[in-house]
Amino acid sequence: MVAMFFVASAHPLASAGNWDGAWYGSIAQHGYGFAHIDAQRDIAFFPLFPMLASVALRIGIGWPLAGLLVNNIAFFGALLLLYSIARRRWNAETARWSVAFACACPLSLFASVAYHEGVYLFFSALALWCALHSRRAASGLAAAAASATSAMGIALGGALVIDAIVRRRDARDVAYAALAFAGIGFFALFCYLRFGDPLAFVHSEHGWRTAGFDARAWLRVLLSVTSWDGLLANIMVIVLVPLAAVAIVAQREDLGRLVTLYGLLAIALILIAGEPISADRYAFAVVPVLMVYGRVLARIPVAAGVAVLAALLSLLAYDAVQFAHFHWVA
């Protein structure tokens, strides 16, 4: 995937740091409070990914290569964990299709550039893997790392805590699950100490969108598929958010309570986060979404599955070229 940038732009490496990559690059190199554009502030971006990238910067790797390497390495690890989780829930065939879907999905672009998606996918998958193997302390710590990487970690933490309570675990196990909120908790503490507002990262989101469920915007997305341009622009939003919710509910027994809870809470968080800007990008990094579509592909004829992957790869190539030329993708 990364190789596409070497043919898509006159400055291929620099293009990997387009859009949010520039914000992350500023944080990694200068810290928070350095960059703002009108109402948009860098505190909207969670800290763990730029912190990891800053380690690469300190050993002499430049930006955006540092961010690109961190994100790609994490994505590779996430694919291994995704395979293991899907195989545990179903079989090796479904696990292979889940990984294939994750790689071919157009939104996998953001696991290849200087964005946080690969890192979040890795830590959230690690938290689920540890929980499913009864390694509860490790699961909580991995989930804490996930919540320090993305607000989607709130959904993961909620799923871990609810699952622990419903299973009637002891207080220690519930506490391990609640560790998931440590990452976002420390970020809130930092925001309070630095900016006097523990929810600065939430309030700064208003520079991009308004909060709350935007029914009109989602209706526009659903109705847009009646035109070719609208279909091309919004098909993955529909596939990865509302249709994914339906698929998760339909496969809840195979997924199990924890994975199902996480998937539905993550999609609910996306829906209430305002208008569906980048909704498909956030949903891509949700493990249950990748798993249910892997299961769908495993249950249809192989030729049909290959055709679906080919179509997805075509969209991925198109989006990669657009992104490299600084056109908005997701």
| Residue 5 placed within a domain | no
Q: What is the pLDDT along the chain (330 residues), one digit of tens a residue?
A: 555 554 445 556 788 889 999 999 999 999 998 766 666 789 999 999 999 999 999 999 999 999 999 999 999 999 999 999 999 999 999 999 999 999 999 999 999 999 999 999 999 999 999 999 999 999 999 999 999 999 999 999 999 999 999 988 788 999 999 999 999 999 999 999 999 999 999 988 877 777 788 999 999 999 988 888 888 889 999 999 999 999 999 999 999 999 999 999 999 999 998 889 899 999 999 999 999 999 999 999 999 999 999 999 999 999 999 998 888 888
Euclidean distance between CA atoms 40 and 10, whole angstroms: 28
Contact 163, 257 (CB under 8 A): yes
Phi, psi for 37 (deg, rounded to 5)? -130, 105
Specify if 130 maps to a domain: yes
| In-domain check, residue 124 | yes
pLDDT of residue 15: 86
114-134 core/surface letters (b: 16 or more CB in 10 A; e: else): bbbbbbbbbbbbbbbbbbbee
Give the pLDDT score at 6. Answer: 46
The answer to the question of residue 10 being in a domain is: no
Q: How many residues does the chain have?
A: 330
Smallest Cα–Cα separation from 163: which of 131, 201, 119, 199?
A: 131
Q: Which two tokens stand for residue 99?
A: 């990984």
**Residue 278 three-state SS:** coil
How far is residue 93's CA from residue 150's CA, in Å, rounded to a whole number? 30
Please indicate, yes or no, if residue 305 is contained in any of the structural domains. Answer: yes
Q: What are phi and psi of 278, to 5 degrees?
A: 65, 15
Shortest CA distance to 127 belongs to which of 154, 98, 105? Answer: 154
Task: List helix spans (H) across the chain.
Answer: 5-8, 12-15, 20-30, 48-58, 65-89, 92-104, 117-132, 136-147, 153-166, 171-178, 182-195, 200-203, 215-223, 228-240, 242-250, 252-255, 257-271, 279-284, 287-299, 302-324
DSSP 46-104: -SHHHHHHHHHHHTTPPTTHHHHHHHHHHHHHHHHHHHHHHHHHS-HHHHHHHHHHHHH
Q: What total of structural domains would you count in the chain?
A: 1
As a whole number of Å, the CA-based R_g of the chain is 19
Per-residue CA distances from 152 to 66, 104, 220, 260, 264 (Å): 23, 22, 24, 15, 11
Whole-number pLDDT of residue 316: 95
Would you state the pLDDT for residue 160?
Answer: 97
pTM: 0.94
Instruction: Read off the amino acid at residue 259.
Output: V
d(CA 8, CA 78): 26
Structural domain including 309 reads 44-324
User: Does the residue 1 lie in any domain?
Assistant: no
